[in-house]
């Protein structure tokens, strides 16, 4: 009967030494790449290098999608061209301002650029308004009715509404800035229809404006003729008859004026001049009176009163006393505080004097104002009396000169009116002649064709470059989307960035795939550091050895367990090369095969799998018999041997602790090649009882979830996790090593 050994305590983790690496918050610090350490990219979105890597990895898909997009675009263009073509007919319309209509004998008018721009916008809106299309369709002879476009809408429930909607969608009129031109376009499925519809609509627009211009000219001519007839009637029946009557009354065209008439006329002119002077003076006096009343009513001092106050001795004397007290007060303020009794008394005295000055001012102001007002009233009364006398004299003279003077004035007025009427009639006759002979026959139009539309030779839609370009861009976008979707949904560990996404793991190194290292070809991969010492793989193991020395001091980390999340990750290869690298460095190494389920070290070293680790666990005295030398200096081997009936219990017992201690008495380091941690309970039992655990992850062979489970399991058993070694990293489809391997061998061969 087998007795189960007692479970041994977990090894106490050694203290952290100077130079070790602590990783926090999902980031990892560790040496990556070739030739030294560096920072692993932080957890987060894709970097530019990742984008480039994804593009390179999926370049075949992208190129295929681009080619397929181009081919698909070509066939799509042909399909659209056959079934849904669009032809665009275009033309140019020139616009002019009505003010630019030529007028013979006058300088050619010029329109303002702002006016032209406004006209362009007006014509564009009119061309695109549905009323123009309605007017064109109301014409029974419209060529639009004979088009395929028109026939295609007759199957609609409301053909007119459908046609109007289509015209508003496909008709375009836009001004060309900096010119008088309007660019008009019409798009239909038939090239001839687009030309016919555009010409018909623009012709209607041009004809409408031309007809409006002719109607305006005719209306203007009719108004001129009516005005001319009215003036001729006024001349013949009004002015000419009155002139004849006054001529008969005055005797002849030259009226004799007597000396008496001249004297009275001169006297009349003098009286009128005097009356004008009196009125001017009265107006000035009344204005002064109103200003005086306004100033007194509003509390202001009139200038005349102020002038007298300024010369009044009594007022000036009182004001001088106030000013003197003010000067005295200012001087005291320079010496004393404001609340001093002397300053307060002087201020009170100044206020009293000021009150006296104000009282004198108001009294004198009232007296002077009344005096000035009385003077103005007397002057006004005197001028009004003189004016009344002059008015009486003027009335008498007016009666004497009235009759003859009125007739003479009327006669002269009628003569001037007759001349004005004849001049206006002559001007109207000239305008009527010019408008009849020139303007009505002019070809001037506010809108006309500058360039008529031609039947389009090629469709405006589809365009092969545009269709192919859009298809290529869609193919490119689709392929990139698929590529990045594959990238985002791929949870395998392929690069340092994937390890960083797991978080709180130290990356110790990257081992390239054996097929990408030309110098490692043909050598024993588990002993590449011995068989191919100049290979890139060997160089990486030497770097891992150095990083272990600085990250986890090898003086305290003497027992190391090499494991992985799953099988076939390369644990044995890493354990052998790591042990050989330490042995070649002068350290005595014992390499132990602790994988009872799938032992592999005996195959690597071509030894028999008997008398090994399994026998030693049950009998430590057999340890020396179970250790074998190898071809590597300083490296000894202990194969797995026979599998015990209770390996997990043995590894959890004091037997295993005693084995490690005895082995470390003879060797500098003991390296265990154990089974996958997530599959073998023996590995879980050993992990907390060694100085450190190394995890080997095969690129593209393990998911981030498995690596996270391994990390968490190590934490739960309180094992010392030294770090992760990413194995079998391919130079293709990842881009991490291709350039570095080339640079490495270029440097070695230089």
The Cβ-side half-sphere exposure at 531, using a 13 Å CA radius, reads: 15
According to DSSP, residue 527 is labeled: G
Cα dist from 276 to 252, 279, 391, whole Å: 35, 5, 11
pLDDT tens digits for 145-163?
889 898 888 888 888 888 9
- Residue 336: strand, helix, or coil: coil
Domain 491-748 -> CATH class: alpha beta
Confidence of residue 389 (pLDDT cuts 50, 70, 90): confident
**Pairing between β-strand 669-673 and β-strand 559-563 as defined by DSSP bridges:** parallel
Least confident stretch, 80-84, 89-93, 495-499: 495-499
Q: Is 193 exposed, middle or buried (0-12, 13-18, 19+ CB in 10 A)?
A: buried
d(CA 472, CA 467): 8
Neighbours of 552 (CB within 10 A): 26
Q: Which of the listed ranges 413-422, 544-553, 666-675 does the model predict with the highest average pLDDT?
A: 666-675
| Per-residue pLDDT at 106 | 64
Mean pLDDT of 221-225: 82
**For the segment 529-562, what is each residue's pLDDT rounded down to a tens digit?**
888 888 888 889 999 999 988 877 788 899 999 9
Length of the chain: 750
Asked if pLDDT for residue 31 goes beyond 50, the answer is no
Query: Tokens in use for 465?
Result: 């470059």
Distances (CA, A) of 233 to 74, 161, 221, 228, 237: 83, 57, 19, 9, 6
Helix axis angle for 130-138 and 159-170, nearest 10°, is: 130
pLDDT band at 734 (very low <50, low <70, confident <90, very high): very low
- Asked whether residue 490 carries a pLDDT value surpassing 90, the answer given is no
Contacts of 731 (CB under 8 A, 6+ apart): 512, 513, 516, 737, 738, 741
- 694 φ/ψ angles, rounded to the nearest 5 degrees: -105, 130
| Residue 559: per-residue pLDDT | 95
| Predicted confidence (pLDDT) per residue in 335-379, tens digit | 877 778 888 887 888 788 788 877 877 777 777 777 877 887 888
CA distances for 687 relative to 292, 416, 564, 690, 695, angstroms = 118, 132, 12, 6, 11
Q: Torsion-angle region of residue 35: left (phi > 0), alpha (psi -120 to 50) or beta?
A: left
Which of 404, 411, 409, 402 shows the shortest CA–CA distance to 245?
411
What is the C-alpha separation between 438 and 217, in angstroms, rounded?
11
Distance CA 559, CA 475 (A): 56
Q: What is the pLDDT of residue 404?
A: 65
- From CA 215, how far away is CA 440, in angstroms rounded? 10
- Are 469 and 73 within 8 A, CB to CB? yes
pLDDT value of position 43: 46
Q: Which long-range contacts (CB under 8 A, 24 or more apart) does 400-406 make?
A: 400/264, 401/261, 401/264, 401/265, 401/268, 404/255, 404/261, 405/265
- Tell me how far apart the alpha carbons of residues 692 and 669 are, in angstroms, rounded to a whole number: 11
Between residues 566 and 737, the one the model is more confident about: 566
Domain limits, the chain? 57-84+463-487, 87-100+110-210+445-451, 259-439, 491-748
87-100+110-210+445-451, CATH topology level: Bacterial polysaccharide co-polymerase-like (3.30.1890)
Question: Residue 258: what pLDDT?
Answer: 46
**Structure-token match 């005055």, residue found:** 250
Q: pLDDT of 44-71, one tens digit each?
A: 456 777 788 778 878 888 899 889 988 9
Which of 192-201, 247-256, 478-487 is most confident? 192-201
- Pair of tokens at residue 365: 């102001």
Query: Which range has the worst mean pLDDT, 424-438, 672-686, 704-718?
Result: 424-438
Which residue is associated with the tokens 């028109």?
150
* Least confident interval from 222-226, 411-415, 529-533: 411-415
| Helical axes 113-128 vs 130-138, angle rounded to 10° | 60
DSSP letter (8 states) at residue 605: T
Question: Which of 64, 183, 57 minimizes the C-alpha distance to 120?
Answer: 183
The domain at 259-439 falls in which architecture? Orthogonal Bundle (1.10)
| Helix or strand (DSSP H, E) at 236 | none
Cα 436-442-446 angle, rounded to 5 deg: 120
Give me the half-sphere count of Cα atoms (radius 13 Å) on the Cβ side of residue 245: 9
For the residues 179-186, what does the mean pLDDT come to? 92
* DSSP-derived secondary structure letter, 672: E
Are residues 616 and 592 in contact, defined by beta-carbon separation less than 8 angstroms?
Answer: no
Count the Cβ atoms, other than its own, within 10 Å of residue 465: 10
Q: Which of 200-209, 408-417, 713-722 has the lowest mean pLDDT?
A: 408-417
Distance between CA atoms of 264 and 342, rounded to whole angstroms? 83
Specify the pairing of strand 38-39 against strand 589-593: unpaired
pTM for the full model? 0.49
Q: Is the pLDDT of residue 463 over 70?
A: yes
**Mean pLDDT over the full length of the chain:** 81
Q: Are 387 and 272 in contact (CB under 8 A)?
A: no
pLDDT at position 280: 84
Which residue(s) pair with 669 in the sheet?
Answer: 589
> C-alpha 643: how far from its chain's center?
72
């Amino acid at each position: 009967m087998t007795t189960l050994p007692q479970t041994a305590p977990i090894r106490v983790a050694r203290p952290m030494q100077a130079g070790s690496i602590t990783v926090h918050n999902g980031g990892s610090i560790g040496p990556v790449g070739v030739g030294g350490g560096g920072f692993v990219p932080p957890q987060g979105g894709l970097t530019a290098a990742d984008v480039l890597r994804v593009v390179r990895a999926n370049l075949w898909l992208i190129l295929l999608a681009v080619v397929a997009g181009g081919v698909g675009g070509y066939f799509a263009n042909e399909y659209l061209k056959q079934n849904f073509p669009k032809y665009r007919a275009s033309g140019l319309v020139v616009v002019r301002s009505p003010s630019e209509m030529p007028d013979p004998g006058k300088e050619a008018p010029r329109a303002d650029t702002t006016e032209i721009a406004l006209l362009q916008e007006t014509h564009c809106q009119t061309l695109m308004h549905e009323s123009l299309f309605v007017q064109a369709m109301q014409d029974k002879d419209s060529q639009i009715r004979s088009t395929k476009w028109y026939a295609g809408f007759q199957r609609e429930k409301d053909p007119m509404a459908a046609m109007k909607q289509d015209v508003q969608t496909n008709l375009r009129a836009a001004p060309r800035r900096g010119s008088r031109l309007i660019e008009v376009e019409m798009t239909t499925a038939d090239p001839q229809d687009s030309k016919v519809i555009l010409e018909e609509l623009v012709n209607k627009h041009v004809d409408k404006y031309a007809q409006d211009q002719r109607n305006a000219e005719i209306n203007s001519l009719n108004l001129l003729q009516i005005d001319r007839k009215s003036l001729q009637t006024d001349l013949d029946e009004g002015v000419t008859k009155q002139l004849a009557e006054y001529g008969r009354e005055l005797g002849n065209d030259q009226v004799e004026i007597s000396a008496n008439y001249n004297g009275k006329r001169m006297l009349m002119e003098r009286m009128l001049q005097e009356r004008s002077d009196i009125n001017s003076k009265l107006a000035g006096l009344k204005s002064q009176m109103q200003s005086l009343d306004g100033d007194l009513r509003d509390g202001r001092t009139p200038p005349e009163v102020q002038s007298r106050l300024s010369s009044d001795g009594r007022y000036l004397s009182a004001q001088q006393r106030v000013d003197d007290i003010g000067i005295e007060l200012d001087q005291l303020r320079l010496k004393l505080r404001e609340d001093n009794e002397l300053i307060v008394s002087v201020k009170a005295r100044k206020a009293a004097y000021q009150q006296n000055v104000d009282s004198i001012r108001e009294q004198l102001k009232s007296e002077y104002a009344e005096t000035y007002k009385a003077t103005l009233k007397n002057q006004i009364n005197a001028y009004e009396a003189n004016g009344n006398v002059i008015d009486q004299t003027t009335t008498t003279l007016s009666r004497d000169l009235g009759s003859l003077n009125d007739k003479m004035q009327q006669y002269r007025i009628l003569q001037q009116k007759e001349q004005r009427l004849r001049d206006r009639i002559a001007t109207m006759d000239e305008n009527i002649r010019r408008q009849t002979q020139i303007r009505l026959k002019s070809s001037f139009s506010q809108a006309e064709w500058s360039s008529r539309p031609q039947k389009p030779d090629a469709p405006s839609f589809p365009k092969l470059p545009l269709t192919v370009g859009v298809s290529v861009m869609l193919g490119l976008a689709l392929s990139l989307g698929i590529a990045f979707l594959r990238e985002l949904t791929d949870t395998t560990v392929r690069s340092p960035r994937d390890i960083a996404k797991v978080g709180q793991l130290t990356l110790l190194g990257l081992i390239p795939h054996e097929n990408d290292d030309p110098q490692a070809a043909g050598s024993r991969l588990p002993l590449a550091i011995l068989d191919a010492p100049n290979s890139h793989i060997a160089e990486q193991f030497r770097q891992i050895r150095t990083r272990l020395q600085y990250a986890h001091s090898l003086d305290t980390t003497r027992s190391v367990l090499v494991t992985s999340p799953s099988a076939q990750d390369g644990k044995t290869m890493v354990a052998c090369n790591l042990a050989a690298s330490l042995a070649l460095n002068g350290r005595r190494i014992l390499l132990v095969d602790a994988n009872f389920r799938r032992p592999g070290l005996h195959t690597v070293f071509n030894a028999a799998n008997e008398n090994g680790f399994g026998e030693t666990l049950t009998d430590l005295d057999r340890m020396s018999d179970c250790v074998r030398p190898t071809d590597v200096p300083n490296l000894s081997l202990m194969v797995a041997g026979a599998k015990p009936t209770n390996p997990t219990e043995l590894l959890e017992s004091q037997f295993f602790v005693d084995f490690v201690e005895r082995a470390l008495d003879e060797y500098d380091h003991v390296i265990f090649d154990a089974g996958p941690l997530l599959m073998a309970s023996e590995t879980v039992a050993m992990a907390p009882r060694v100085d450190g655990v190394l995890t080997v992850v095969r690129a593209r062979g393990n998911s981030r979830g498995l690596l996270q489970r391994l990390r968490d399991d190590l934490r739960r058993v309180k094992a010392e996790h030294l770090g992760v070694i990413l194995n079998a990293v391919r130079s293709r489809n990842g881009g991490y090593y291709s350039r570095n391997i080339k640079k490495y061998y270029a440097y070695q061969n230089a």
